[in-house]
Structure 1
Amino acid sequence: MTLLKSLTLASRILKLAPKESGLIRSNHRCFSQFTRLYNEQAPPSQPSPPKKKPLSRIPIGSNETAPQTTSDGSIEFSTWKAASLFLIVGGGLYYYFTKEKRRLEIEKEAEANRGYGKPMVGGPFHLKDSEGNVFSDKNLQDKFSIIYFGFTHCPDICPDELDKLGVWLDKLKSKYGTKLQPIFITCDPNRDTPEVLTQYLQDFHPDIIGLTGTYDQVKNACKQYRVYFSTPPHVQPEQDYLVDHSIFFYLMDPEGNFVEALGRNYDNETGVERIQEHVKAFIPKQEREKRKQRWYSFLF
C-alpha cells in the first residue's frame, strides 16, 4: 500500500468517526502513530540515475566546435586546419625551390659563359678614361661592370641604348641596392677624344665611364670582346662618317669574367631583372672550386 492510499484511507476513517471530542482525539493519536510507523518501515528513496553523456564531443544542439584533445592532452587538428597548414607549408616550399632552381640555372649559364681555360669573351686591354687615366681589365675587379661599345656620332642606336642603360642603373640601385660600373668604349678613337666623351656621356648618366685610346688599342679591346666594328678607309677626323659595330651590353662579374651579352631584346624592365639575377647568383671562384670537389657537383 502506497503512502498516498494510506493517507486517503485514514482521512476517510476520520470522517466516519463520531464527533465526540474524546473519540476524535483518540483517532488522531492513532493516525499519528500509524504515519510514524509507516515512515519508519518505508524504504529510503533511491537517487535518480545519472544521465548518460552524448557520444559526440560537440554538445547536442550546439553549433560551436569544442576543443579536441587526445588522451594524453595533445591537441588534435581538424580537417580544415590540417589542409590550411599543408597549403601554407607546400606553397612556401614550392616558392623556395622554384627560386632556387632559377638561381641554379642562371649560375650554370654564367659558368658556361666564363668558359674553360681562355675566356670566350673578355681579356686584357689598356685604354684611357675621359680624365686621361689608364683604365685596363684590372679595373673590372671587385665589382659588377657593364660594357658597351659605340661612338659619339651615332645618330640613333647608341643614344637609345645609353638611355636604356641609364634606366637600368637607376632602377638597380633604387630597387635592389645594386651598383654597377658602366663603361662606354668608343669604336671611333679618331674623333672621340676624352673631352668629346665627357661632354657626350653627361647627357645620359653621370656614372658612365668613357674609354678611348689609339686605334690599335681600341681594336684590341674590340677583339677581346668579340665586337665587330669597321670604319670607312682613309677617313679624317673632321669628316662625317658612320661606324658599323655590334650592339650588345657585356655584363662582367667582380672577377672580371664575362657573364652574359644583353642585346636589344632586353627592355627597361627585363634588363634590370636579368642583371639582378646574375648578381644574386654570383659565387666567387674559390667557392666554385670547392664545390667541384663535392659529391653534388653535378648540380652546378
Structure 2
Amino acid sequence: MKRQGLWAGIALIVLVLGVGGYGWFQQQFATSGAGNGPTGGPIELSSTHGEFSLAQLEEDQLAVVFFGYTYCPDVCPMSLAVVRQALAELDETERERVVPLMISVDPERDTLERLAEYTGFFGDAFIGATGSEAELEELAERYGVIWRRVETPESAMAYTIDHSSSLYLVDREGTILRRVLYSPAPHALLSALDEAL
C-alpha cells in the first residue's frame, strides 16, 4: 500500500513538472516569436552608398543583412569578417549577386561617415545603413531582431547595445530566404548562400 502511494506521488510530480515545463516552453516560444517567425519586408534606409532599398536589387541578387553597430567589440566585426570570408569563397558571378548590408542599431553614434569607414574595412561592396530610432525599431520587429541600449557609466563609451546576431539572406521583395545563426566560421553562411543563389 505504501509502495502504491509512493508511485502515485512520483507520477503526480512527473505530471505537474511535465505540464509546467510544457507551459513554460509554450510561453518562451510565443515570446520569442518563433511560432510566426520574422516576416522581413522592405528595407529603405539612408546608406553609405546613397539611399538604399531592397527594391534596387536585381532579380537574381540577394542581400546578406546584419544588424549591429560600429562600437561593438566582438560579435559585429566577427560577423562581418565571416561575410567577407564567405564572399571570398564564391566565384565572381556569384559574388556579384550578393549585397552585404550592415544596419546600425546605434543611430546616435553611427553616422554614415563612421559606417563608411567601418564597413570599408571589410570590402568596398559592404554597405552601411541606418535610420531614426523609430525606423530601426519597426524594421527590427519585422526581422525578429532584439536590441536594447545598456548604460555603462563606468565605461568611456557610456553605453553598449545588446543585440541578436543572425545574418538574413533577403531578396528584393524583402522575403527572408535564409536566417543564419551567429558563428565565427563561414560554413553555415556558405551553405545558406549555396542554397539561395
Kindly tell me: are residues 162 and 178 of structure 1, through their superposed partners in 2, closer, same or farther at Cα, counting changes over 3 Å? same
Classify the secondary structure of the residue corresponding to 1:182.
strand
RCO higher in 1 or 2 (8 Å CA, sep ≥ 6)? Answer: 2
After the TM superposition, which residues 44-193 of structure 1 pair with which residues of structure 2 at under 5 Å, given as runs?
120-131=38-49, 133-140=50-57, 142=59, 143-174=61-92, 179-193=97-111
Query: 1:217 pairs with 135, 140, 156, which one?
Result: 135
After TM superposition, the structure 1 = structure 2 runs for residues 223-234 of structure 1, keeping only pairs within 5 Å, are 223-232=141-150
1:209-262 CA-partner distances (Å, limit 9, x unpaired)? 1001211112222122111001137x9xx9532101111000113543111110
TM-score for both structures, normalised by structure 2: 0.70
Let me know the Cα RMSD of the aligned residues: 2.7
Structure 2 residue runs of 5 or longer lacking an equivalent are 1-35
Q: Which moved more, 1:159-168 or 1:256-265?
A: 256-265
Q: In the alignment, what sits opposite 1:271?
A: 189
What do the CA deviations read for 1:35-54 (whole angstroms, capped 9, x no partner)?
Answer: xxxxxxxxxxxxxxxxxxxx
Q: Give the drift of 1:176.
A: 5.3
2: CA distance, partners of 1:152 / 1:173: 29
1:275 deviation in Å? 1.1
Displacement after TM superposition at 1:122 (Å): 0.7
Change (3 A) 1:123 1:173: same
Q: CA deviation at 1:268?
A: 2.1
Match of 1:262 in 2: 180
Task: Give, in angstroms, the shift of residue 167 of structure 1.
Answer: 0.8
Question: Partner amino acid for 1:200?
Answer: Y
Q: Give the SS at the match of 1:259.
A: strand
**Distance in 1 (alpha carbons) for counterparts of 2:181 and 2:72:** 17
Structure 1 CA distance for aligned equivalents of residues 123 and 46 of structure 2: 19
Distance 1:221 1:158 in 2: 18
Confirm or deny: 8 A CA contact 1:119 1:257 kept in the other structure.
no
Q: Which residue of 1 aligns with 2:33?
A: none
| Matched letter for residue 126 of structure 2 | I
**Structure 1 residues 268 and 125: alpha-carbon distance in aligned structure 2, compared to 1, 3 A threshold:** closer
Structure 1 residue 265: Cα displacement: 4.3
Aligned counterpart, 1:31: none
- Give the length in aligned residue pairs: 159
Larger displacement relative to structure 2 (215-224 or 142-151): 215-224
Gaps of 5+ in 1: 1-117, 280-300
**Structure 1 counterpart of 2:53, one-letter code:** S
Please name the residue that 2:160 is paired with.
Answer: 242
Tell me: CA distance 1:225–1:134, structure 2 relative to 1, closer, same or farther (3 Å): same
TM-score (norm. length: structure 1): 0.48
Match of 1:205 in 2: 123
Contact 2:54 2:172 in 1 (8 A): no
Sequence identity, in percent? 28
* SS of 1:211 mapped into structure 2: strand
Q: 3-state DSSP class of the match of 2:118?
A: helix
